[in-house]
Structure 1
Amino acid sequence: MGQQYSAPVPGTKLQVIGAGLSRTGTASFSRALEILLDGPVYHGGTNVTLGPEREIKSWIKFLRRWLEAYNNNGSYKSQKEEEYNMRLLAERVDGYVAVTDAPFTSAVPELLKMYPDAKVIVTVRDAEAWEKSMVTVSNAATIWFLKFVLFPLPTLRYFVDYIDALRDVWWNLYGETEPLTRATYNRHIELLKRTVPEGRLVFVSVKDGWEPLCKALGKEIPSVPFPRINDGEAIDAFAKKHVGRGLIRWAWILSGVAVAGGVAFLQWRDGGLSSMSRF
């Protein structure tokens, strides 16, 4: 999070599948790819929450269908189920030079089939540090009243349903939900090594700046500083901003109900008094 919604550009070819988990510098990585590849990048945390409602609703559908359609061995139960989910995925991915962050981290096999020439780049960090940083995400996403507070807000009214579907997929893939631990981080890396063909999988750390990323993509190092976006601060700011928006919207709704109720009462009272005056 921390960026703005990135709109697709029809005809744009996907070049990079970002397979690094959330809180591994995916926001900085996304901005760096926009600079290097000169096109829109779909950062999951940003586009899902700040985009049109069709974004988050289609992802909920994708994740739920994934859970219904997958076998325990990691394959689809039928070709029909796989094709259906591939169509849902294509609707979201078309028009972007790269995709990063969840929920794409749970759709790497599908993306590999759809874009056989794309490079899979995984943003990494120390597993222990990642585990500690996930506490921020967990705290922000599991506030008990969140669904009620966000209900008046377009797109975000589906946020809790989206997170619930994502948690179910995490459980299926990694055997954990929240709080996620370094076990999930390590299992994700192992899963990628088994899934992605040799030569297409690259690991980078955003701490190392431009050089490893440019080397992986065969690009010259840009004459601008490597972007540094603090995911933790962005998530905190996002939570405070939109919870505040939700509470304000509820205040408007409830005040409107109160006013309407007051008007109705006055009309009833006046009507009752007028009726009594005739006797």
Structure 2
Amino acid sequence: MGKIFGLGLSKTGTTSLHQAFKRLGLNSVHYPHKKEIFVGDFGWVDGHDAVSDIPVAPYYPQLDKIYPGSKFILTVREVGEWLESMQRWWSQPARVSDYMIRMRIAVYGVHAFHADRLRYVYQKHMKDVTEYFRNRPRDFLVFNICGGEGWEKLCPFLDRPPPGGNFPWVVPGDKK
């Protein structure tokens, strides 16, 4: 089997997905801080089973070619809730590194919260990813963790038994 890539944008359940991967025994990395991403070098992925969040989300066509046989999971969330969560997250400047600013500009086109721009990017990303994988149901899963989906949807897609216990719902920095 190839790799597993979480293609959801930040605040769509990517941390929960990462924790689920770990519970399934996968070597997973969430929001990797790899400057090589900016020049299209994904060799660092080789050391992992699963990778998620915006450092890989927009690069699905390249990753699909480099890692044939991979699985791609698009985490989604209702756009209004997503924008509220993004506003809370982006209003915490102490958490923002130079790498994060650079990544936000690369993915969202802005480094400060701008609702209209973020809504556009979110909707375009969802449309583009879904269209790209439209005829590949064995390779692509739309997964709404924030809407309550969990092991019952993820494990059959990955052809793995559920590990037992509740699905890990993690909400780092997203609390009011």
* TM-score clears 0.5: yes
Match of 2:122 in 1: 185
**2:22 aligned partner:** 34
Q: Where do 4+ consecutive residues of structure 1 move more than 3 Å? A: 175-178
Contact 2:88 2:174 in 1 (8 A): no
User: Are residue 19 (structure 1) and residue 7 (structure 2) matched?
Assistant: yes
1:106, distance to aligned residue in structure 2 (A): 2.1
Long gaps (5+) in structure 1: 1-12, 49-54, 66-84, 151-155, 237-279
1:1-279 mapped onto 2 (5 Å cutoff): 14-36=2-24, 38-44=25-31, 47-48=32-33, 55=34, 58-59=35-36, 62-63=37-38, 65=39, 85=40, 88-91=41-44, 93-140=45-92, 143=93, 159-160=97-98, 162-171=99-108, 178-179=112-113, 180=115, 181-196=118-133, 198-199=135-136, 200-206=139-145, 207-233=148-174
* Shift, 1:118, TM fit: 0.5
Kindly provide the amino acid, as one letter, of the partner of residue 16 in structure 1: I
Normalised TM-score (structure 1): 0.55
Which amino acid in structure 1 is aligned with residue 142 of structure 2? F
User: Which ranges of structure 2 fall in alignment gaps of 5 or more residues?
Assistant: none
Per residue, is there more helix in 1 or in 2? 1
Please identify the structure whose Cα radius of gyration is greater. Answer: 1
Q: What is the total number of aligned residue pairs between the two structures?
A: 169
Instruction: Let me know the Cα RMSD of the aligned residues.
Output: 2.4
What is the TM-score when the length of structure 2 is the normalising length?
0.83
Counting aligned pairs with the same residue, the percent is 28
Name the CA distance, whole Å, in 2 between partners of 1:188 and 1:20.
9
Instruction: Please state whether the residue corresponding to 1:231 is helix, strand or coil.
Output: coil
Structure scoring higher RCO (CA < 8 A, sep ≥ 6) equals 2
Cα-to-partner distance string for 1:230-253 (whole Å, 9 max, x where unaligned): 13348x9xxxxxxxxxxxxxxxxx
